[in-house]
Amino acid sequence: MSNGFQVQDRFAEGAQYIGGKLLPGTSGHHHEVVNPATGRCVLRYELAGADDVDAAVAAARAAFPGWSAATPGERSEAMHRFAAVLAEQADDFAYAESLQCGKPIKLSTEFDVPGTVDNAAFFAGAARHLEGKAAAEYDGDHTSYVRREAIGVVGSIAPWNYPLQMAAWKVLPAVAAGNTIVLKPAELTPLTSLMFAQAATEAGIPDGVINIVTGAGKEAGEHLVGHPDVVMTSFTGSTAVGKRVAEIATATVKRLHLELGGKAPFVVFDDADLEAAVHGAVAGSLINTGQDCTAATRAYVQRPLYDAFVRDVAALMDTVRLGDPFDPATDLGPLISHAQRDRVAAFVERARGYARVVTGGEAPGGDLADGAYYRPTLVADAAQDSEIVQSEIFGPVLVVLPFDTDEEGIALANDTPYGLAASAWTRDLYRANRATREIQAGCVWVNDHIPILSEMPHGGYKASGFGKDMSAYSFEEYTQVKHVMYDNTAVARKDWHRTIFGDR
């Protein structure tokens, strides 16, 4: 499939977007964007270096006074235009997202792009609802109120699994609140982040409000996090890298927003609708080829349903169609790279020594041999403390374990360092209420797994980080609170001063 979108032509001037212009990087190091379905290069570009990060931060800092001083209505109008431009260019965004990530075109078309447009529309509305607290007299004749204000230049780092949506989740709430931003996308997948910033310019958002630097994490990323003119860092990625980001940010006392790893439990009680749970487990574990921090990775099934669940999930996984991402019939695309495919395969190979690989566990051959494909894989009977249960795999692998009592199922669900998302499957209201109350995760679905909404927060507990994406909660995170207090009396008050200094 080709929609006429020519990557080389689109980014001939470079893969950095600074002050409203595409520019080449200055690091002296080049990188290739590779289509993981074919292993072929689609764009070769020069990476950003420290000088590019400095230029992007300077552009964002210069744009901040004007953008933060715009009225909420003015920012809202610009962002509504932004949403309209994104919608007009939906086909190009879907094509570029599938090209660089290998995700099925139906996922890009039906989920990633519409979700991004919806996010833009939501935060366009949110821009008009930046509120403080009502004024009141808490101390005699003094009136106090609270202002919410933009904080300045935000430096954000996004991952490669959902490049377009992660750009939206980072940029939109920050910009709606009046901040300016420098976003570093993953060097594997910069295309749609760059297009996103270009679309903002087309919509009339001022130059410098949204800047993109595409560079390596060690050079461009760490320099962005440590930059003295960046007042907040937002990072989505692994917990290990998140710790490094926090360490660097602490040196300049930056505000931090971290959305880190996940190992989502999928808890099936014995009264659950088995067919619904089986379909939910396959969809929830294989979404985006399992490269999703909220994907269902650990299924805990109450023992009366365990054997049937394992049998039916394996059978359904065997019907999943791997293929060309641009074929509308394809259900599952490749992993992001051969290196990631090999990493996933190594987890499964090690698990063969202590668990049962029920289906999958191999890369396909034939027409798919050149791509980074891996078959949907079901692993059963692993121990709770085993690597494949405790570690984030980030691939199309689901592990199934049995449990006996409700207490045991919930305890097993909580028994990892992570706490990003989870689901509970039951027809019993009491069980559902108990599970949603006791499972330690930022989101708990009941009889479903994976849906997200612009109006609802996304973010984790424990080692999955802190802070929220999407929703009004996200919007407020990109603001700072100021207490304003003034004296209402017509003459200068001296009573307070006398209390402290005496009569002088």
Cβ atoms within 10 Å of 365's Cβ, excluding its own: 8
For residue 441, which amino acid is it? A
| 486, 491, 497, 498 alpha-carbon torsion, rounded to 10° | -150
User: What's the maximum distance between 2 C-alpha atoms anywhere in the chain?
Assistant: 93
Backbone Cα Rg of the chain:
25
Query: Which residue reads 């994490």 in tokens?
Result: 217
**Residue bearing tokens 């760490």:** 222
Cβ-proximal residues to 183 (8 Å cutoff; 6+ apart), any chain:
156, 157, 158, 167, 170, 171, 193, 197, 210, 211, 212, 213
- Distances 7 to 12, 40, 190, 192, 203 between C-alpha atoms, Å: 8, 13, 11, 11, 21
The rounded distance, in Å, linking the Cα atoms of 211 and 18 is 5
286 conformational bin, left if phi > 0, alpha if psi -120 to 50, beta if neither:
alpha
Any idea which residues carry the catalytic annotation? 259
Q: How far apart are CA 363 and CA 334, in angstroms?
A: 10
Element (H, E) at 192: helix 191-202
> Token pair of 94, please?
């879907």
Token readout for 436 is 């949603």
Round to whole Å and give the CA distance between 166 and 274.
33
Helix (H, G, I), strand (E, B) or coil at 399: strand
Task: Output helix, strand, coil percentages for the chain, rounded to the nearest 5.
Answer: 40, 20, 35
- Tokens standing for residue 145: 């109120």
- Residue 180 contacts residue 485 (beta carbons within 8 Å): no
Residue type, 479: T
In one letter, which amino acid is 340? Q
The C-alpha angle with vertex 238 and arms to 237 and 242, in degrees rounded to 5, equals 80
Mapping DSSP onto H, E and C, the string for 403-451 reads ECCHHHHHHHHHCCCEECEEEEECCCHHHHHHHHHHCCCCEEEECCCCC
Residue 127: phi, psi to the nearest 5?
Answer: -55, -25
Query: Taking the mean position of all CA atoms in its chain, how far away is CA 81?
Result: 24
- Residue carrying structure tokens 């699994």: 161
Task: Say how far apart CA 364 and CA 367 lie, in whole Å.
Answer: 9
What does the alpha-carbon distance between residue 85 and residue 205 come to, in Å, rounded to a whole number?
A: 12
* Nearest-angstrom CA–CA distance, 290 and 282: 10
